[in-house]
Amino acid sequence: MTPLIKIRDLHFYRGENVIFNGVDVDIYRGKVTAIMGPSGTGKTTLLKLIGGQLKPQRGSIVVDGEDVHKLSRKALYALRKRMGMLFQSGALLTDINVFENVAFPLYEHTDLPESMIRDLVLMKLQAVGLRNARNMMPAELSGGMARRVALARAMALDPMMIMYDEPFTGQDPISMGTLVNLIRRVNDAMGLTSIVVSHDVAETAQIADDIYLLSGGKVIDQGTPEQLQKSGSDWVEQFMQGLPDGPVPFHYPGTEFADDLLAGEEYR
């Protein structure tokens, strides 16, 4: 089986900062693949690279047979119509209501009659349980609701894949559970491929078929949630079980505490 997304030898720097230093990732059709890792490892950056919003210094990202960073602008936009992305904030347009937000990509990219757009939007909103919230403005929605509207909007053009950027961050247990369920259900019902970027281990492990663990610009480990739970690596164990100390130290690296105490007042 060929993967839908094939990332090879990806190098990406921001100034002096190395974000990715030779990353290889395969994302298979129909599966929910999780990209996990501590904050600041560039998980969101990876989604932006896949979506062609950023350009890597080296390496390639092939999505459905097309090298994202070698496409013309027109071809890239055509490819993006087949990609959905759910931003952490939802990124809803704040000056129009929920219905119009979901209808936005349909108005922009199709010539469908008004009545059909209405039916499509209601179907997508029904799928995320917010059909009756269609007249609300984005400012009136809770964080979880905004993400569900954004999910409905990402599904509007029936894409082949959806990328989720930290979908569980800052959610109460109920909306967390709703989102976890939705991601899996939508993936299976619509025959999508999903990429979930997250650092919420328990929730992500529930729905992911495959997990990639990133840290320090590299893939540390990869496998099904069960495989990773049993991984022999100390780092993986620390991350998956949320231990405060381990290969990732509790203390920010620097001088020893004792040296600092003895150094006297002149060194702050």
Partner 1 sequence: MIDFIRMLGRWGLGTLERLGRATLLLVQIITGIPELMMRFSLVVQQLFYVGVLSVLIILVSGLFVGMVLGLQGYNTLVDFGAEESLGVLVSLSLVRELGPVVSALLFAGRAGSALTAEVGLMKSTEQLSGMEMMAVDPVRRIIAPRFLAGVISMPLLAAMFSAVGILGAFLVGHGLLGVDDGAFWSQMQAKTDWYEDILNGVIKSIVFGFVVTWIALFEGYDAVPTSEGVGRSTTRTVVHSAFAILGLDFVLTALMFGE
158 binds partner 1, rule: CB under 8 A? no
Closest to partner 1 by CB, 196 vs 219, is 196
Q: Which stretch binds partner 1 (CB under 8 A): 4-12, 55-63, 101-109, 122-130?
A: 101-109
Binding string, residues 137-156; x marks residues near partner 1 by CB under 8 A:
-------------x--x---
Binding-site member from 25, 43, 46, 87 for partner 1 (CB under 8 A): 87
91 binds partner 1, rule: CB under 8 A? yes
- 144-148 — which CB contacts under 8 Å span 24+ positions? 144/171, 144/172, 144/174, 144/175, 144/176, 144/178, 144/179, 145/175, 146/89, 146/90, 146/92, 147/86, 147/90, 147/171, 147/179, 148/178, 148/179, 148/182
Q: 197 Cβ partners below 8 Å, 6+ apart?
A: 34, 35, 36, 43, 44, 46, 47, 163, 164, 165, 166
Q: Could you give the angle at which helices 143-155 and 173-190 cross, rounded to 10 degrees?
A: 10
Q: 56 Cβ partners below 8 Å, 6+ apart?
A: 10, 11, 12, 20, 49, 69
92 binds partner 1, rule: CB under 8 A? yes
83 binds partner 1, rule: CB under 8 A? yes
**8-state DSSP, 252:** P
124 binds partner 1, rule: CB under 8 A? no
Binding-site member from 8, 69, 81, 118 for partner 1 (CB under 8 A): 81
Least Å from the CB of residue 81 to partner 1: 5
Distances (CA, A) of 239 to 75, 199, 215, 247: 39, 9, 10, 10
Least Å from the CB of residue 110 to partner 1: 12
**CA dihedral angle for residue 133, residue 191, residue 55, residue 48, rounded to 10 degrees:** 30
Q: Which stretch binds partner 1 (CB under 8 A): 12-20, 21-29, 45-53, 167-175?
A: 45-53
Note whether 28 and 210 are within 8 A (CB).
Answer: yes
Binding-site member from 32, 35, 80, 178 for partner 1 (CB under 8 A): 80
- Give the residue carrying structure tokens 């936005």: 104
75 binds partner 1, rule: CB under 8 A? no
Least Å from the CB of residue 114 to partner 1: 15
246 binds partner 1, rule: CB under 8 A? no
Binding-site member from 3, 59, 105, 143 for partner 1 (CB under 8 A): 105
Give me 48's structure tokens.
């932006």
Give me 205's structure tokens.
């492990």
Q: What's the chain's Rg over C-alpha atoms? A: 21
Q: Which stretch binds partner 1 (CB under 8 A): 62-70, 77-85, 236-244, 258-266?
A: 77-85
Closest to partner 1 by CB, 2 vs 107, is 107
> Where does this chain bind partner 1 (CB under 8 A)?
48, 51, 53, 77-78, 80-81, 83-85, 87-89, 91-94, 104-105, 108-109, 150, 153, 157
